[in-house]
Amino acid sequence: MVNKSISKIYLASKSPRRAELLTQMGINFASLSFDIPEIVADGESPFDYSQRICREKAEAGWQYMLDRELPTLPILTADTEVIYQSQVLGKPVDYADAFRMWRMFAGDRNLVITSVTLKYHDFEKTVTSQSWVYFDQLSDAEIHSYLATGDYKDKSGAYGIQSLAGQYIQKIDGCFYAIMGLPLNIVRNLLHELNTNVK
């Protein structure tokens, strides 16, 4: 995983799912909690936006660590975006917004991109995973039945593939864990690359 000089990392994310996935990998980590503005710039593609947000989180996390005189450890950040017809959807603002998203998804597919940045001193690299998610045809009643559970709240695109929403998904073309919020293979490879560059 990591060499003896790097036995722990910081996860700069409030997502409990990402914390669970790092734990699943057997990685020793501590969480950093802070906020940065997340606004799509005019003319910015979803891919560029996701990568930029990840890098900005990494820079903010590094500064957060320095300002508080915390132990110097690698900073891992991630950003997940659900995209439908080139539009970044974000988290639903309310029930009606979530219904709008699900009505679009039903019988169609949406793209999920998750970017990951690993930063440690001069080492900084960002990689993005892209996955397609295909939904069943759904009636309005079925959508309302799902939304009534509240499972959609605080989730990009108003769903989490690992939760109740999974039963409505026909298939995925890509990385399941990236759709959850953290592509494990990318994290593993980034840590390996860091270890080969930092002795």
Band (5; pLDDT cuts 50, 70, 90): low
pLDDT computed for residue 165 by the predictor: 95
Q: What is the pLDDT of residues 125-153, one digit of tens each?
A: 999 999 999 999 999 999 999 999 999 99
* Residue 68 in this model has a pLDDT that exceeds 60: yes
Which DSSP helix (H) or strand (E) runs through 194?
helix 184-197
**E strand intervals along the chain:** 9-11, 29-31, 75-84, 87-88, 109-120, 123-135, 169-173
The C-alpha angle with vertex 64 and arms to 189 and 47, in degrees rounded to 5, equals 45
112 near 118, Cβ under 8 Å? Answer: no
Q: How far apart are CA 89 and CA 101, in angstroms?
A: 8
Domain ranges of the chain: 9-197
The stretch 70-88 carries a mean pLDDT of 95
- Amino acid (one-letter) located at 179: I
Contacts of 24 (CB under 8 A, 6+ apart): 184
Band (199; pLDDT cuts 50, 70, 90): low
- Amino acid (one-letter) located at 166: G
Which residues partner with 135 through β-bridges? Answer: 169
pLDDT computed for residue 32 by the predictor: 96
pLDDT computed for residue 1 by the predictor: 41
Band (41; pLDDT cuts 50, 70, 90): confident
Please state which architecture CATH assigns to domain 9-197.
Alpha-Beta Complex (3.90)
If you average pLDDT over every residue of the chain, what do you get? 93
User: The pTM is what?
Assistant: 0.90
Which residues partner with 172 through β-bridges? Answer: 133
42 is catalytic: no
Q: What is the pLDDT of residues 152-190, one digit of tens each?
A: 998 999 999 998 999 999 999 999 999 999 999 999 999
Polymer length in residues for the chain: 199
- Amino acid (one-letter) located at 116: V
The strand pair at 109-120 and 123-135 is best described as antiparallel
| Most distant CA pair in the chain, distance | 58
- Amino acid (one-letter) located at 48: D
Catalytic residue selected from 42, 48, 67, 79: 79
Q: How far apart are CA 138 and CA 111, in angstroms?
A: 18
pLDDT computed for residue 133 by the predictor: 98
The stretch 12-22 carries a mean pLDDT of 93
pLDDT computed for residue 40 by the predictor: 85
pLDDT computed for residue 18 by the predictor: 95
Q: What is the CA radius of gyration of the chain?
A: 18
